[in-house]
Amino acid sequence: MVAIQNSSHTLTPETTLRDIIKTIPAECFEKKPLRAWLSVLFSVAAAALGYASITFSPWYLLPFAWILTGTALTGFFVIGHDCGHRSFSNKIWVNDLVGHIAFLPLIFPFHGWRFKHDHHHLHTNKMGEDNAWYPFTVAEYEQGKGLISNVYRMIRTRFWWIGSILHWANLHFDASLYPERQQKQVKFSYRLVIAFALIVFPVLIYTTGLMGFVSYFVMPWLVYHFWMSTFTIVHHTMPDIQFKEKDKWHAATDQLTGTVHCDYPVWVEWLCHDINVHVPHHVSTGIPAYNLRLAHKSLDENWGKYMYKTKFSWELMKDIGDRCHIYDSEKCYKTFAEVDASNKA
Protein backbone atom coordinates (compact mmCIF):
# COMPACT_ATOMS: atom_id res chain seq x y z
CA MET A 1 0.00 0.00 0.00
CA VAL A 2 2.92 2.39 0.57
CA ALA A 3 3.74 4.51 -2.46
CA ILE A 4 7.53 4.64 -2.89
CA GLN A 5 10.64 4.38 -0.75
CA ASN A 6 12.90 7.05 -2.23
CA SER A 7 11.29 10.25 -0.98
CA SER A 8 13.69 13.08 -0.26
CA HIS A 9 12.01 14.47 2.83
CA THR A 10 11.58 13.14 6.35
CA LEU A 11 8.39 13.56 8.35
CA THR A 12 9.16 14.50 11.96
CA PRO A 13 7.15 15.91 14.89
CA GLU A 14 8.54 19.31 13.93
CA THR A 15 7.27 19.08 10.34
CA THR A 16 4.40 21.44 9.59
CA LEU A 17 1.84 21.45 6.83
CA ARG A 18 3.57 24.54 5.48
CA ASP A 19 6.79 22.53 5.14
CA ILE A 20 4.94 19.98 3.02
CA ILE A 21 3.12 22.63 0.99
CA LYS A 22 6.45 24.30 0.12
CA THR A 23 7.49 21.13 -1.75
CA ILE A 24 4.50 21.39 -4.12
CA PRO A 25 5.08 23.44 -7.31
CA ALA A 26 3.42 26.85 -7.25
CA GLU A 27 1.56 26.08 -10.48
CA CYS A 28 -0.53 23.51 -8.59
CA PHE A 29 -2.23 26.36 -6.73
CA GLU A 30 -3.00 28.41 -9.84
CA LYS A 31 -6.68 28.90 -10.60
CA LYS A 32 -7.27 28.56 -14.33
CA PRO A 33 -10.70 29.93 -15.27
CA LEU A 34 -10.76 28.11 -18.63
CA ARG A 35 -10.01 24.76 -16.98
CA ALA A 36 -12.61 25.43 -14.28
CA TRP A 37 -15.38 26.31 -16.72
CA LEU A 38 -14.45 23.44 -19.04
CA SER A 39 -14.95 21.10 -16.09
CA VAL A 40 -18.43 22.58 -15.65
CA LEU A 41 -19.16 22.11 -19.36
CA PHE A 42 -17.88 18.54 -19.20
CA SER A 43 -20.12 17.66 -16.24
CA VAL A 44 -23.18 19.32 -17.80
CA ALA A 45 -22.60 17.39 -21.04
CA ALA A 46 -22.06 14.12 -19.16
CA ALA A 47 -25.24 14.62 -17.11
CA ALA A 48 -27.20 15.52 -20.25
CA LEU A 49 -25.96 12.35 -21.90
CA GLY A 50 -26.98 10.44 -18.81
CA TYR A 51 -30.51 11.85 -18.79
CA ALA A 52 -30.82 11.20 -22.52
CA SER A 53 -29.76 7.60 -21.94
CA ILE A 54 -32.47 7.27 -19.28
CA THR A 55 -35.02 8.65 -21.74
CA PHE A 56 -34.15 6.37 -24.63
CA SER A 57 -32.84 3.20 -22.96
CA PRO A 58 -34.94 0.04 -22.87
CA TRP A 59 -35.76 -1.11 -19.36
CA TYR A 60 -32.92 -3.63 -19.22
CA LEU A 61 -30.32 -0.90 -19.89
CA LEU A 62 -31.74 1.57 -17.37
CA PRO A 63 -29.36 0.51 -14.55
CA PHE A 64 -26.42 1.50 -16.75
CA ALA A 65 -28.09 4.82 -17.55
CA TRP A 66 -28.68 5.46 -13.83
CA ILE A 67 -25.04 4.67 -13.04
CA LEU A 68 -23.81 7.02 -15.78
CA THR A 69 -26.11 9.84 -14.67
CA GLY A 70 -25.43 9.46 -10.96
CA THR A 71 -21.68 9.37 -11.52
CA ALA A 72 -21.89 12.47 -13.72
CA LEU A 73 -23.84 14.21 -10.96
CA THR A 74 -21.02 13.35 -8.58
CA GLY A 75 -18.92 15.55 -10.85
CA PHE A 76 -21.35 18.38 -10.04
CA PHE A 77 -20.56 17.83 -6.38
CA VAL A 78 -16.80 18.01 -7.04
CA ILE A 79 -17.25 21.34 -8.82
CA GLY A 80 -19.25 22.61 -5.84
CA HIS A 81 -16.56 21.14 -3.61
CA ASP A 82 -13.95 23.35 -5.28
CA CYS A 83 -16.31 26.30 -4.87
CA GLY A 84 -16.66 25.54 -1.16
CA HIS A 85 -12.89 25.63 -0.77
CA ARG A 86 -12.71 28.84 -2.86
CA SER A 87 -10.46 27.04 -5.37
CA PHE A 88 -12.87 27.41 -8.31
CA SER A 89 -12.64 31.19 -8.63
CA ASN A 90 -10.86 34.11 -6.99
CA LYS A 91 -14.24 35.79 -6.54
CA ILE A 92 -16.24 34.63 -3.53
CA TRP A 93 -19.58 35.46 -5.15
CA VAL A 94 -18.71 33.25 -8.15
CA ASN A 95 -17.80 30.38 -5.84
CA ASP A 96 -21.06 30.78 -3.92
CA LEU A 97 -23.19 31.08 -7.06
CA VAL A 98 -21.65 28.13 -8.90
CA GLY A 99 -21.53 26.08 -5.70
CA HIS A 100 -25.24 26.55 -5.04
CA ILE A 101 -26.19 25.79 -8.66
CA ALA A 102 -23.98 22.69 -8.77
CA PHE A 103 -25.50 21.37 -5.54
CA LEU A 104 -29.14 22.06 -6.46
CA PRO A 105 -29.71 18.88 -8.53
CA LEU A 106 -28.30 16.91 -5.58
CA ILE A 107 -30.64 18.65 -3.09
CA PHE A 108 -27.52 19.48 -1.12
CA PRO A 109 -27.30 22.71 0.95
CA PHE A 110 -24.08 24.42 -0.07
CA HIS A 111 -23.18 26.56 2.95
CA GLY A 112 -24.13 23.94 5.51
CA TRP A 113 -21.93 21.40 3.78
CA ARG A 114 -19.14 23.97 3.32
CA PHE A 115 -18.88 24.82 7.00
CA LYS A 116 -18.98 21.20 8.18
CA HIS A 117 -16.50 20.17 5.50
CA ASP A 118 -14.07 22.91 6.50
CA HIS A 119 -14.27 21.55 10.05
CA HIS A 120 -13.42 18.09 8.73
CA HIS A 121 -10.31 19.49 7.07
CA LEU A 122 -9.18 21.27 10.20
CA HIS A 123 -9.58 18.12 12.31
CA THR A 124 -9.07 15.19 9.94
CA ASN A 125 -9.02 11.87 11.84
CA LYS A 126 -9.17 13.63 15.21
CA MET A 127 -11.35 11.96 17.81
CA GLY A 128 -14.14 14.15 19.13
CA GLU A 129 -13.84 16.63 16.25
CA ASP A 130 -13.89 15.05 12.78
CA ASN A 131 -17.40 14.70 11.31
CA ALA A 132 -16.59 12.36 8.39
CA TRP A 133 -16.86 8.64 9.18
CA TYR A 134 -16.09 9.29 12.83
CA PRO A 135 -15.70 5.90 14.57
CA PHE A 136 -17.65 5.23 17.75
CA THR A 137 -15.73 4.38 20.88
CA VAL A 138 -16.91 1.34 22.85
CA ALA A 139 -18.64 3.68 25.30
CA GLU A 140 -20.44 5.60 22.54
CA TYR A 141 -21.50 2.35 20.91
CA GLU A 142 -22.91 1.04 24.19
CA GLN A 143 -24.69 4.31 24.98
CA GLY A 144 -26.34 4.23 21.58
CA LYS A 145 -27.75 0.73 21.98
CA GLY A 146 -30.92 0.50 19.94
CA LEU A 147 -31.61 2.49 16.81
CA ILE A 148 -28.39 4.53 16.79
CA SER A 149 -26.04 1.57 17.26
CA ASN A 150 -28.00 -0.56 14.80
CA VAL A 151 -27.78 2.13 12.11
CA TYR A 152 -24.08 2.57 12.92
CA ARG A 153 -23.54 -1.18 12.44
CA MET A 154 -25.30 -1.03 9.08
CA ILE A 155 -23.20 1.77 7.63
CA ARG A 156 -19.98 0.30 9.01
CA THR A 157 -20.58 -3.05 7.31
CA ARG A 158 -22.44 -3.91 4.10
CA PHE A 159 -24.58 -0.76 3.95
CA TRP A 160 -21.72 1.77 3.90
CA TRP A 161 -23.25 3.20 0.73
CA ILE A 162 -26.10 4.89 2.63
CA GLY A 163 -23.68 6.70 4.95
CA SER A 164 -23.63 9.82 2.79
CA ILE A 165 -27.44 10.02 2.86
CA LEU A 166 -27.48 9.97 6.65
CA HIS A 167 -24.70 12.57 6.79
CA TRP A 168 -26.66 14.78 4.36
CA ALA A 169 -29.92 14.47 6.30
CA ASN A 170 -28.48 14.85 9.81
CA LEU A 171 -26.04 17.71 9.44
CA HIS A 172 -27.09 20.18 6.77
CA PHE A 173 -30.75 21.04 7.45
CA ASP A 174 -30.48 22.07 11.11
CA ALA A 175 -29.06 25.55 11.66
CA SER A 176 -28.76 24.95 15.42
CA LEU A 177 -25.80 22.66 14.72
CA TYR A 178 -23.80 25.67 13.53
CA PRO A 179 -22.33 28.74 15.28
CA GLU A 180 -24.66 31.73 15.25
CA ARG A 181 -22.44 33.60 12.77
CA GLN A 182 -23.00 30.85 10.20
CA GLN A 183 -26.70 30.20 10.69
CA LYS A 184 -28.01 32.82 8.25
CA GLN A 185 -26.05 31.30 5.37
CA VAL A 186 -26.94 27.76 6.42
CA LYS A 187 -30.64 28.63 6.43
CA PHE A 188 -30.38 30.32 3.03
CA SER A 189 -28.81 27.22 1.47
CA TYR A 190 -31.22 24.64 2.84
CA ARG A 191 -34.25 26.82 2.14
CA LEU A 192 -33.02 27.21 -1.43
CA VAL A 193 -32.74 23.46 -2.03
CA ILE A 194 -36.11 22.84 -0.36
CA ALA A 195 -37.72 25.48 -2.60
CA PHE A 196 -36.00 23.90 -5.62
CA ALA A 197 -37.32 20.46 -4.67
CA LEU A 198 -40.85 21.78 -4.05
CA ILE A 199 -40.90 23.19 -7.59
CA VAL A 200 -38.97 20.59 -9.57
CA PHE A 201 -40.27 17.39 -7.97
CA PRO A 202 -43.99 18.08 -8.63
CA VAL A 203 -43.20 19.19 -12.18
CA LEU A 204 -41.16 16.04 -12.77
CA ILE A 205 -43.91 13.82 -11.35
CA TYR A 206 -46.59 15.64 -13.33
CA THR A 207 -44.70 15.32 -16.63
CA THR A 208 -43.16 11.85 -16.23
CA GLY A 209 -45.20 10.16 -13.50
CA LEU A 210 -43.96 8.55 -10.32
CA MET A 211 -41.83 6.10 -12.24
CA GLY A 212 -40.28 8.99 -14.11
CA PHE A 213 -39.47 10.65 -10.79
CA VAL A 214 -37.80 7.45 -9.62
CA SER A 215 -35.91 7.02 -12.87
CA TYR A 216 -34.79 10.61 -13.42
CA PHE A 217 -34.12 11.61 -9.84
CA VAL A 218 -34.18 8.87 -7.20
CA MET A 219 -31.97 6.28 -8.88
CA PRO A 220 -29.23 8.69 -10.09
CA TRP A 221 -29.35 10.38 -6.67
CA LEU A 222 -28.76 7.02 -4.97
CA VAL A 223 -25.84 6.34 -7.31
CA TYR A 224 -24.40 9.75 -6.43
CA HIS A 225 -24.64 8.93 -2.74
CA PHE A 226 -23.08 5.52 -3.37
CA TRP A 227 -20.02 7.26 -4.79
CA MET A 228 -19.99 9.91 -2.07
CA SER A 229 -20.16 7.25 0.65
CA THR A 230 -17.50 5.17 -1.07
CA PHE A 231 -15.09 8.02 -1.76
CA THR A 232 -15.36 9.45 1.73
CA ILE A 233 -15.07 6.22 3.70
CA VAL A 234 -12.06 5.11 1.65
CA HIS A 235 -10.40 8.54 1.99
CA HIS A 236 -9.76 8.08 5.71
CA THR A 237 -10.86 4.60 6.81
CA MET A 238 -8.46 1.68 6.56
CA PRO A 239 -7.71 -1.10 9.06
CA ASP A 240 -4.27 0.43 9.64
CA ILE A 241 -5.11 4.16 9.59
CA GLN A 242 -5.51 5.56 13.06
CA PHE A 243 -7.90 8.19 14.34
CA LYS A 244 -6.04 10.10 17.06
CA GLU A 245 -6.95 11.60 20.40
CA LYS A 246 -6.54 15.38 20.47
CA ASP A 247 -3.31 15.33 22.46
CA LYS A 248 -1.68 12.92 20.01
CA TRP A 249 -2.95 14.47 16.79
CA HIS A 250 -0.44 16.25 14.55
CA ALA A 251 -1.67 18.25 11.56
CA ALA A 252 1.13 17.48 9.11
CA THR A 253 1.44 13.81 10.01
CA ASP A 254 -2.26 13.02 10.12
CA GLN A 255 -3.23 14.96 7.00
CA LEU A 256 -0.45 13.30 4.99
CA THR A 257 -0.57 9.76 6.39
CA GLY A 258 -4.23 9.62 7.37
CA THR A 259 -5.52 10.34 3.87
CA VAL A 260 -5.81 7.61 1.23
CA HIS A 261 -5.10 7.80 -2.49
CA CYS A 262 -7.32 5.23 -4.21
CA ASP A 263 -7.37 4.44 -7.92
CA TYR A 264 -10.82 3.88 -9.46
CA PRO A 265 -11.84 2.91 -12.99
CA VAL A 266 -10.75 5.67 -15.36
CA TRP A 267 -14.29 6.60 -16.38
CA VAL A 268 -15.19 7.21 -12.72
CA GLU A 269 -12.15 9.41 -12.18
CA TRP A 270 -12.93 11.43 -15.31
CA LEU A 271 -16.59 11.97 -14.43
CA CYS A 272 -15.71 12.80 -10.82
CA HIS A 273 -12.84 15.19 -11.63
CA ASP A 274 -10.13 13.21 -9.81
CA ILE A 275 -11.71 13.53 -6.36
CA ASN A 276 -9.97 10.22 -5.58
CA VAL A 277 -6.58 12.00 -5.77
CA HIS A 278 -7.11 13.06 -2.21
CA VAL A 279 -3.79 13.38 -0.39
CA PRO A 280 -2.82 16.75 -1.93
CA HIS A 281 -6.31 18.05 -1.18
CA HIS A 282 -5.73 17.42 2.53
CA VAL A 283 -2.31 18.98 2.42
CA SER A 284 -3.89 22.12 0.93
CA THR A 285 -7.51 22.78 0.03
CA GLY A 286 -6.31 25.58 -2.24
CA ILE A 287 -5.37 23.14 -5.00
CA PRO A 288 -8.08 23.05 -7.71
CA ALA A 289 -9.31 19.60 -8.78
CA TYR A 290 -7.64 19.87 -12.21
CA ASN A 291 -4.23 20.32 -10.54
CA LEU A 292 -4.53 17.43 -8.08
CA ARG A 293 -2.61 14.91 -10.20
CA LEU A 294 0.33 17.26 -10.65
CA ALA A 295 0.39 17.97 -6.92
CA HIS A 296 0.13 14.25 -6.16
CA LYS A 297 3.14 13.56 -8.37
CA SER A 298 5.17 16.10 -6.42
CA LEU A 299 4.08 14.71 -3.05
CA ASP A 300 4.87 11.21 -4.26
CA GLU A 301 8.40 12.28 -5.16
CA ASN A 302 9.01 14.14 -1.90
CA TRP A 303 6.96 12.31 0.73
CA GLY A 304 6.02 9.08 -1.01
CA LYS A 305 7.07 6.66 1.71
CA TYR A 306 4.49 8.21 4.06
CA MET A 307 1.59 8.11 1.60
CA TYR A 308 -1.10 5.44 1.60
CA LYS A 309 -2.14 4.21 -1.84
CA THR A 310 -4.62 1.52 -2.80
CA LYS A 311 -7.00 0.48 -5.57
CA PHE A 312 -10.78 0.31 -5.46
CA SER A 313 -12.28 -3.17 -5.42
CA TRP A 314 -15.18 -4.92 -3.79
CA GLU A 315 -12.59 -6.82 -1.75
CA LEU A 316 -11.32 -3.50 -0.40
CA MET A 317 -14.83 -2.47 0.63
CA LYS A 318 -15.38 -5.88 2.24
CA ASP A 319 -12.14 -5.51 4.20
CA ILE A 320 -13.17 -2.09 5.50
CA GLY A 321 -16.65 -3.37 6.30
CA ASP A 322 -15.33 -6.45 8.08
CA ARG A 323 -12.68 -4.75 10.22
CA CYS A 324 -13.19 -0.98 10.67
CA HIS A 325 -15.91 -0.85 13.30
CA ILE A 326 -15.11 0.52 16.76
CA TYR A 327 -12.25 2.89 17.64
CA ASP A 328 -9.28 1.31 19.37
CA SER A 329 -6.35 3.45 20.52
CA GLU A 330 -3.81 0.64 20.02
CA LYS A 331 -4.78 -1.26 16.89
CA CYS A 332 -6.96 1.36 15.14
CA TYR A 333 -10.20 -0.62 15.20
CA LYS A 334 -12.04 -3.37 17.04
CA THR A 335 -14.68 -5.38 15.22
CA PHE A 336 -18.27 -5.56 16.39
CA ALA A 337 -17.68 -9.25 17.13
CA GLU A 338 -14.78 -8.40 19.46
CA VAL A 339 -16.84 -5.78 21.31
CA ASP A 340 -19.86 -8.09 21.59
CA ALA A 341 -17.67 -10.94 22.86
CA SER A 342 -16.07 -8.75 25.54
CA ASN A 343 -19.52 -7.66 26.70
CA LYS A 344 -20.59 -11.28 27.14
CA ALA A 345 -17.45 -12.24 29.03
In 3D, which of 27, 46, 243 has the Cα closest to residue 130?
243
Q: In sequence order, which residues have a C-beta less than 8 Å from that of residue 27 and are 6 or more positions away?
A: 291, 294
Q: What is the DSSP letter of 123?
A: T
Around 296, how many Cα atoms within 13 Å sit in the side-chain half-sphere?
22
In 3D, which of 110, 86, 75, 69 has the Cα closest to residue 29?
86
In 3D, which of 35, 109, 108 has the Cα closest to residue 73?
108
Task: Tally Cβ neighbours within 10 Å of residue 106.
Answer: 22
pLDDT at 345: 65
Task: Tally Cβ neighbours within 10 Å of residue 165.
Answer: 17
**What three-state secondary structure class fits 126?**
strand
pTM score, whole prediction: 0.94
pLDDT tens, the chain, 345 aa long: 433 344 578 999 999 999 999 999 999 999 999 999 999 999 999 999 999 999 999 999 999 999 999 999 999 999 999 999 999 999 999 999 999 999 999 999 999 999 999 999 999 999 999 999 999 999 999 998 889 999 999 999 999 999 999 999 999 999 999 999 999 999 999 999 999 999 999 999 999 999 999 999 999 999 999 999 999 999 999 999 999 999 999 999 999 999 999 999 999 999 999 999 999 999 999 999 999 999 999 999 999 999 999 999 999 999 999 999 999 999 999 999 999 888 776
Residues 283, 28: Cα–Cα separation, whole Å: 12
pLDDT at 5: 42
Cβ atoms of 36 and 88 within 8 Å: the answer is yes
Q: In sequence order, which residues have a C-beta less than 8 Å from that of residue 266 and are 6 or more positions away?
A: none
